[in-house]
Amino acid sequence: VRIIIRENTGDYYEFYNLGMDEPMAISSVHGLGTGDLLDKLFEYVQTFEEWIDNLEKSKDEKNLPSSYSPHTLYLAMNDEEKLVGAIGLRWKKVPTLMTFGGLVGYSIRPSQRGKGYASEMLKLALEKFKSTDIDNVLITCKDFNIASKKVIEKNGGVFEDVYINAEDGFKYLRYWIKI
C-alpha cells in the first residue's frame, strides 16, 4: 500500500464535500469533538472558507482555549491521487486528550476501507511526532471498532486500559505508541 499524507492543499475541498456522497467519521479527526458524523462539522463551521480558516487557526495554541491542543489535519492520498482518508494530529497533551481522546484521530472513506490505508496513514503520521518533544502517543478507539484496534496494534500500540466515557457511554480502548 502506498499513500502520502499532506496538509493545506486543494484536496481539502474534496474532503469537505465528502459528506454528500460518502460520510466519514471525521469530527475527532480534526479536533472538533468525538462525534461520529460529518454533520458534526457543520455545527461549528458554515462554509468551506470558514472551515479552512478554522483549520489554520487551530494549528496555533494562542488561538485555542487552554483545554484544547493545537492540531493539524492531513489528508491521505493513494498513488492514483485519490483521497482515501484523513488523520488529525494533536500536538499538546491536554487532560481530555490524555483521558480518552488521544493525540491522533483518523478515518478512512468507507469505499477505501480494508485496503491497508489506515495502517499506512497512521505509520506516516507517527513519523511527524519525531520532530517534536512528544516521545509517546496516546491513541484510542471505541471497543467495538475492531479494525481500528488492529491498525493501532499493527503500529506498535500497547494496550493500557479501558476508559468508560460518562458523556457518551462508550468504552474507549487506550493504547500507547512509543515514538
Phi, psi of 99 (to 5 degrees): -90, -55
Which pLDDT does position 27 carry in this prediction? Answer: 45
Which pLDDT does position 122 carry in this prediction? Answer: 97
Query: Average pLDDT in the 13-32 region?
Result: 54
Using the predicted structure, report yes or no on whether residue 113 has a pLDDT greater than 80: yes
Which pLDDT does position 9 carry in this prediction? Answer: 61
Q: How many other CB atoms are found less than 10 A from the CB of residue 94?
A: 17
- Taking all residues of the chain, what is their mean pLDDT, rounded to a whole number? 82
d(CA 159, CA 179): 15
d(CA 164, CA 105): 18
Which pLDDT does position 159 carry in this prediction? Answer: 98
As given in the structure block, the three cell numbers for residue 91 are: 500536538
pTM for the whole thing? 0.82
Which pLDDT does position 58 carry in this prediction? Answer: 87
Which pLDDT does position 8 carry in this prediction? Answer: 60
Using the predicted structure, report yes or no on whether residue 32 has a pLDDT greater than 90: no
Give the length of the chain: 179
Phi, psi of 165 (to 5 degrees): -85, 115
Which pLDDT does position 50 carry in this prediction? Answer: 78
Closest Cα to residue 90, out of 67, 73, 107, 76? Answer: 73
Render pLDDT for 42-89 as a digit per residue (tens, 0 to 9): 455 567 777 778 888 888 999 988 888 999 988 888 888 888 888 999
